[in-house]
Structure 1
Amino acid sequence: MLKKFHGVTCNPTLLERANETCTVSNLHKLAAEALTYTNEFMCQSWGSDSQEMYDNGMKISEPDRDKIVIKVPVTKEGTVAATQLQKSGVRICLTACYGSKQALVAAGMGVEYIAPYLGRMTDNGKNGFDECVKMQQIVDGLQADTRILAASIRDAESLADLAAEGLDTFTFSPDVARQLFDEPLTLSAAEEFEKAAARGSQT
């Protein structure tokens, strides 16, 4: 079940947007900072082939392989690198997932996570919600330990809808997290409680 907020994730695109360099040394710095607040840091390896992705993944995860999860895309080269990284004791998240069939790859490999991009699938004409739900059904049906890490979530309603279908692992922005507490009726009720408390304290 969804127990708490934890973990930090990034990828080369997010690093670029944040004006952070995509280097091993900088990822070590970011991981060290993040792990003072949480118990998991996900970051993406890169490379033109599986060997380069493997080498970078090993270097990135070196400071703490219990808490640093290496992301690799669900491509042929990426999955080869992921297999080798797993054998070397590295935790793996297959990322850039755009189709439910890719959950079969993740489950078959026994990786810890696979990250489907909900919003981006929908942007590209797919039913992102249905794809994510089907992925969860696949790993459940195969009794695999792989967790569906739903990503590219743009609003709290999508988060709630996915949770109602049995998904329990998500990555989302601070804006979406704030939306979880943004319910006008609740805010109105809380305001009325405070007014009643103030009136009661005067008697």
Structure 2
Amino acid sequence: MALRLLLDSADPDAWDQWLPLKLFHGVTTNPTLLRRAGQPCSIDNLKELTQRALAHGVKELHLQAWGTDLLTCGRVLADLAPERIWVKLPITRAGLEAAQLLQQDGYRITFTACYEPHQVLSAAALGVDYIAPYLGRISDLGRDGHGEILSMQRALTALGSTTRLLVASLRHVSDLSRLASEGVDTFTISAALAQDLIEVEATEAAALQFELDAAGA
């Protein structure tokens, strides 16, 4: 599988800044990111945001369902752009129940809030497209976050599963290279981490020196 990066943001200004670079396959959002961006968590607002994202040419937009009726919410979200939207659901019993019904109708699913290696087995059993483990938050619990992510990847690979890990809650660019070197290929990262990904002090200094030399300075 090829490397796949998604921008973890509900801020349209961040989309305007980063999506034109074509580094990102798509965008992931959730109610927490909407709140942080000052965006209402409502269907009407998400409809507007969907159009803005699609205008940037994103291949995937992951929108998280909420409320007591995840099934109905998920259907409404997916129908905003049926070919581009993945419905995000927490990997809870309610999320599993909604997922299998949504799949029967042809909707595509991303499980989120994964904290345990065995949770990927449920995702693989249902054959969903993605499951998003929270690397940083797993590490915050005093556990080996990198090791557990790699255990999840090995399980999916051994099973021949088409479910992809969508690694979230990354804190450092070194997390990306460390996991990618072990075969993990799909990540969702914040705009701040995207900045760290492309800005390297030594590279910036070298580029500046090239310009100075070209000008004869």
Per the normalisation by structure 2, the TM-score is 0.86
Shift of 1:39: 2.0
The answer (yes or no) to whether the contact 1:94–1:114 under 8 Å persists in 2 is: yes
SS of equivalent to 1:103: helix
- Report the counterpart of residue 91 of structure 1 in structure 2: 108
Amino acid at match of 1:112: D
* Unaligned runs of at least 5 residues, structure 2: 5-22
Quote how far apart the aligned CAs of 1:182 are: 2.3
Deviations 1:58-115 (A, max 9, x none): 0111122210110000111111101111111111000000011111111111000000
Give the SS at the match of 2:166.
strand
2:66 matches 1:46: yes
Root mean square deviation, CA, Å: 1.4
SS at match of 1:42: strand
| Cα distance in 2 for residues equivalent to 1:154 and 1:161 | 12
Please identify the structure whose Cα radius of gyration is greater: 1
Which of 12, 26, 29 is matched with 2:45 structurally?
26
Q: Paired residue for 1:191?
A: 208
Question: 1:33-182 maps to which residues of 2 (within 5 A)?
Answer: 33-37=52-56, 38-48=58-68, 52-182=69-199
Percent identity between matched residues is: 44
Measure, in 1, the Cα distance between the counterparts of 2:105 and 2:97. 13
Per-residue CA deviations over 1:32-75 (Å, capped at 9, x if unaligned) read 11111112111111133xxx101110011112221011000011
Give how far 1:131 is off: 1.4
Instruction: Give the counterpart letter for 1:6 in structure 2.
Output: H
Match of 1:111, SS state, is: coil
Of 121-130 and 66-75, deviating more is 121-130
TM score, norm. by length of structure 1? 0.92
Which has the larger displacement, 174-183 or 111-120? 174-183
In structure 2, the residue matched to 1:2 is 3
User: Aligned to 2:111, what secondary structure does the other structure show?
Assistant: strand
Answer with 89-98 or 131-140: which moved more: 131-140
Q: Deviations over 1:131-160 (max 9, x none)?
A: 111111111110111110000112211111
C-alpha distance in structure 1 between counterparts of 2:209 and 2:169, whole Å:
36
Q: How many residues align?
A: 197
Offset of residue 170 of structure 1: 0.7
Q: How many Å apart are 1:174 and its aligned residue?
A: 1.1
Mapped partners of 2:40, 2:204: distance in 1: 41
C-alpha distance in 2, partners of 1:13/1:183? 30
Q: What CA distance in whole angstroms lies between the structure 1 residues aligned with 2:212 and 2:80?
A: 52
